[in-house]
Chain A
Amino acid sequence: MLDVAVAYNRYKFLGFEFLTWLWYSIEENREVFKTVEPELTVLEIGNRLVLENRVQDALESITIKGDDAGLEEGLIALRKGAVVTEMNLICKFEDSEWRLTLKGESFDIAGLKTPESGPLETSEDIEGRLLEKVFLDEKAIELVDKLYRYFIRLRISNDWNETVVPRLRKWIYEKES
């Protein structure tokens, strides 16, 4: 395996492409989520989307914030060559909701909010509460991993260049903004 620091920088584009593909899939190809995680009932972009565009040496950053914010500015940025670097996601299993922000470069997970677990009544409850919390955290993290594993297989297949990229380009350029 490559040196970790070298690999981190050389392949961070994979995280950015994953988030771009995820955005496209949420808007245009939701069926894919049923294949990846049949129990998933909702996957939406939440209240934050960050894109970056490097033009020569200058770095332009576009942050779209707000619960009902339109993502048109993001599409315009994609047309100018920006990449998605950070995305807040809302996912639901049955009626329970998880929220998290995923950073494309590092796959750091921030602001992970799980469904409420029961109140802590005694110190003996800590063990049970902790195991429940880890189970809930793991459910969201596993979803991210499953989506990424699906993406990476797609990314190394011929389908990526032959089918997926043309569809993504069509979406980027033809979707009304």
Chain B
Amino acid sequence: MGLLSSTVSVTRYRVEGEIEAPVMETITAGLKKNAISEIDDEDSDKSVGWTSFETPFTPSFDGDSFVIGPYLVFSLRIDKKTIPSKIIKKHFSMEVAKRLAETGRDHLSKKEKQEIKDHVIQVLSLRIPATPNVYDLLWSVENGWVWMFSNQKAANEELETLFARSFKATLIRLFPYTIAELTADLSPEDRDVVAKLTPTRFME
């Protein structure tokens, strides 16, 4: 469900920390440096990086291509190779049989089996293309917030990590406590009262 879908899911963040001036240059550099890299011909099983909102499979952050009105609009892409366990099991069994035949032994050590399994996964990873998942992002630099158009926990966590690495600023998720603390315009005294709240019992 992307930003322009008829139905969307939104996870909201507050940006904590100043983006180094000049801000747009810093952001552009962070996006380019951490753009998604293709892993289809590599043995990596996962790649996480930024990509373009309109062309998620050909990322480009030149000029102001990711600026729309007052917002920065781009996407997080997570490419992952998932090898079905039955395929791993089949190739692992074949390799073990081959090794036993070559060495004339009747069993392999735990360490040897693990080495074979790692090798099988590495070889299969080269042959299996990664499945891309794209999550749209909207960033209001002026107001210090980011919306991610997904509620998937794993994707949310990847975003938080990559954002900190790219822009040297922290994303704080907005949930009941942080909304009260950061965006409700409460006085320090009121925030102290919030901190001391305990659950209400509605039962008689």
CA distance A11 to B184 in the complex (A): 15
**In the complex, what residues of A have CB within 8 A of residue B172's CB?**
4
Encoded as 1 (CB less than 8 Å from any B CB) or 0, chain A from 1 to 20 comes to: 11010011011111101101
Do B202 and A168 touch (CB < 8 A)?
yes
**In the complex, what residues of A have CB within 8 A of residue B176's CB?**
11-12, 14-15, 18, 104-105, 107, 148
CA distance A14 to B179 in the complex (A): 11
Do B175 and A107 touch (CB < 8 A)?
yes
CA distance A126 to B68 in the complex (A): 10
- A134: Cβ under 8 A from any B Cβ: yes
Do A156 and B190 touch (CB < 8 A)?
yes
Given the known interface contacts A14-B197, A81-B203, A156-B197, the answer about A108 and B11 at a Cβ–Cβ threshold of 8 Å is yes
| Interface-centre pick from B3, B197, B201 (highest chain A CB count, 10 A) | B197
CA distance A7 to B172 in the complex (A): 12
Given the known interface contacts A104-B176, A127-B69, A148-B176, the answer about A112 and B10 at a Cβ–Cβ threshold of 8 Å is yes
- A139: Cβ under 8 A from any B Cβ: no
**In the complex, what residues of B have CB within 8 A of residue A145's CB?**
179, 183
**In the complex, what residues of A have CB within 8 A of residue B173's CB?**
4, 8, 106
Question: B residues within 8 Å of A by Cβ?
Answer: 3-4, 6-12, 54, 68-69, 71, 73, 138, 147, 151, 172-186, 190, 193-195, 197, 199-204
Do A129 and B4 touch (CB < 8 A)?
yes
| Interface-centre pick from B183, B184, B185 (highest chain A CB count, 10 A) | B184
CA distance A116 to B180 in the complex (A): 32
Sorted from nearest, which 8 A-B pairs have the closest CB atoms? Answer: A11-B177, A14-B176, A15-B176, A13-B199, A7-B177, A156-B193, A108-B151, A109-B10
**In the complex, what residues of B have CB within 8 A of residue A90's CB?**
none
B177 CB to closest chain A CB (Å) equals 4
Interchain CB contact (< 8 A) of A152 among B73, B194, B203: B194
B70 CB to closest chain A CB (Å) equals 9
Do A152 and B199 touch (CB < 8 A)?
no
A interface residues, tally (CB under 8 Å): 54
Given the known interface contacts A108-B151, A137-B10, the answer about A2 and B177 at a Cβ–Cβ threshold of 8 Å is yes
Do A137 and B8 touch (CB < 8 A)?
yes
**In the complex, what residues of B have CB within 8 A of residue A18's CB?**
176
**In the complex, what residues of A have CB within 8 A of residue B11's CB?**
106, 108-109
CA distance A141 to B9 in the complex (A): 11
**In the complex, what residues of B have CB within 8 A of residue A65's CB?**
none
CA distance A126 to B197 in the complex (A): 46
Do A172 and B202 touch (CB < 8 A)?
yes
Given the known interface contacts A130-B73, A156-B190, A156-B193, the answer about A173 and B175 at a Cβ–Cβ threshold of 8 Å is no
Do A173 and B204 touch (CB < 8 A)?
yes
**In the complex, what residues of A have CB within 8 A of residue B68's CB?**
127, 130-131
B201 CB to closest chain A CB (Å) equals 8
CA distance A84 to B183 in the complex (A): 23
Do B177 and A10 touch (CB < 8 A)?
yes
- A71: Cβ under 8 A from any B Cβ: no
CA distance A20 to B200 in the complex (A): 11
CA distance A7 to B73 in the complex (A): 30
Minimal Cβ-Cβ distance residue in B for A120 = B4
Encoded as 1 (CB less than 8 Å from any B CB) or 0, chain A from 21 to 57 comes to: 0000000000000000000000000000000000000
